[in-house]
Chain A
Amino acid sequence: MALKYEAELKLRPDQPCPRLTRYRQRNLTAFRYLHNEATDADFIPIAKIDGVKPKDKCNKFALSFFVTLAQAAARYDDLVDRLGDRDRAIERYGDHVGRIELSEADGICCDPDSSGHFDLHEAADVDWSNRVDEYFELANKV
């Protein structure tokens, strides 16, 4: 499968990038932080926002997803505290979670970690418009 950032991935220090023993095509329901309503800007990997340093690895070009809504919400609460406040988290990640049916055509995913988070390296021709099936507002933490 051709990946969207294939040329850039070849320049990362951790080759092969991505490691195909850890990434594979999948069909699954996944959850991602974004704004309501989501735009292309909600699907830009951090490498395209911050640029890359020589030591930056492959996953800077990946998009983050969670396996469940509860896991996404739990991590968001942590990120709010870690960054400083809710406004910082909204600036960086958005204030909603979107439910998206990922298909094998969307790219390749790694296994989720213990927090339910996993990375997706997008396929070259993926189109995210109208892909969010449902939005969940990330409520203020009490």
Chain B
Amino acid sequence: MLPDLNNRRARLPREVVFVRELESFEGPILSEYRAARGSAQYVEKWCARADDVTRTLLVRADQRAIVEYLGKRRTMLSLLTEPSDGMGYVIDRRQTETVAVYGVYLDDLPAGYLPKPTVYHDEDLRPEWDIVPQSYLIDENWDAKLFSDIERINLNVSGFAYFTQPDTSRTLPSGLLRMHYDGGFPIMHVYNGIRANLPEAARPKSAAVSAASPGVFTIETPSSTADMVRRALGGLPKSKSAFDAVHAWSRLRPDAAQKVPAVARESLHRLCSLLNVRLDAILQPASGDHEDEAMLVAGKLIASYYRMLWRVVEPSNRAEFVGAKIEKEDPDVSSYDDYDDFGDDDEF
């Protein structure tokens, strides 16, 4: 039998609605709720079960704290105790029916209701979500352009990942591999085309800004797209030497395409494999002189994608990505800004 608690209440002070489970193993361990009216956020942790009654703890939380927990910047204990000021509600439910509510100080909870202080989020316990939040912690110097840049970068990599996904026959939008490059053509236009053609069902969207300083900016991405981007980001730390090998020749200008080395295809293949990109989605079938040009275009595209992925992880020194843990092998990510969008080096 579950132990009785003091301060029994008739009900919760406000109606809350279930948002999603954050962690689950044969049932929820930690779930997110929000107020039915208003923007208040809550997290609920499983506490105990006896005689068909399941007991949970519901506490106030905030968007940044939840994002920090999912990004492994905060422990579960801290998530439960700090934004809530150490107060909450214990709820007893029989199936989905609430049978008791208690107002509680977390310090007074029975032993074993709160997690150990060493517990961080484990992605293996994260249920499959239809929409996956990609969040950035924003410092006090944020501005609207920062949010716009982050959204555009996420659209760029989502689009590139979508059109080049292995085990599909998708191709980059018509024309992007067939442009006339002799006049110089910034890679910006390739990404413009990718963004414009990315289907609605695969598009990330800006979802929430907590503009407190420091705050949090969240982009919600359909789970299939998020999975593709996650795989690409997972390959980043191992890709530095493969990128260097491509970068060594992909900087050539179009009129020097004949200087593309014989090993270009091999280096392309290696970098594409690491970044989960289908080579034939970016390498146009060609012969003779056109083969070198096609190789050069593919090299520029995959090199730009590598740099763009790093910008997802580190879009600015004012924003910290918490969507995935990336070991930073490259110490000078900021220098990639020189190549993005308008950089001469990426003109075809």
Chain A contacts to B: CB under 8 angstroms: 14, 45-46, 49-53, 55, 57, 59-60, 63-64, 75, 78-79, 81-85, 87-88, 91-93, 113-115, 117
Contact of B115 with A81 in the complex, beta carbons under 8 Å: yes
B116 touches A (CB below 8 Å): yes
Question: C-beta contact mask, B7-21 vs A, less than 8 Å → 1, else 0?
Answer: 000000000001010
Report whether A59 and B127 are in contact in the complex, using a CB–CB cutoff of 8 Å. Answer: yes
Interfacial chain A residues near B112, Cβ < 8 Å: 83-85, 87-88
Contact (A82, B111) CB under 8 Å given A50-B54, A55-B18, A91-B49: no
Chain B residues contacting A115 (CB-CB under 8 Å) are 124
Residues of B near A114 (CB, < 8 A) are 124
One digit per residue, 1 when the CB lies within 8 angstroms of any chain A CB and 0 when it does not, for chain B 91-133 equals 0010110000000000000011111101100101101100000
The residues of B that contact A92 with a CB separation of less than 8 Å are 26-27, 46, 49
Known: A57-B127, A84-B112. A91 touches B95 (CB 8 A): no
B23 in the interface, Cβ–Cβ < 8 Å? Answer: yes
- Give, as a whole number of angstroms, the nearest-CB distance from A54 to chain B: 9
Classify chain B: how many residues form its interface, as a range: 20 to 34
Residue of B nearest to A58 (CB): B128
Say whether B29 faces chain A, with CB atoms less than 8 Å apart: yes
Q: Using A91-B49, A114-B124, A117-B124 as known contacts, say yes or no to A64 and B115 having CB atoms under 8 A apart.
A: no
Q: Is the CB of B115 within 8 A of A83?
A: yes
Q: Given that A59-B127, A82-B119, A84-B116 are contacting pairs, would A46 and B27 also be in contact in the complex, using a CB cutoff of 8 Å? A: yes
* B198 contacts chain A at the CB level, 8 A cutoff: no
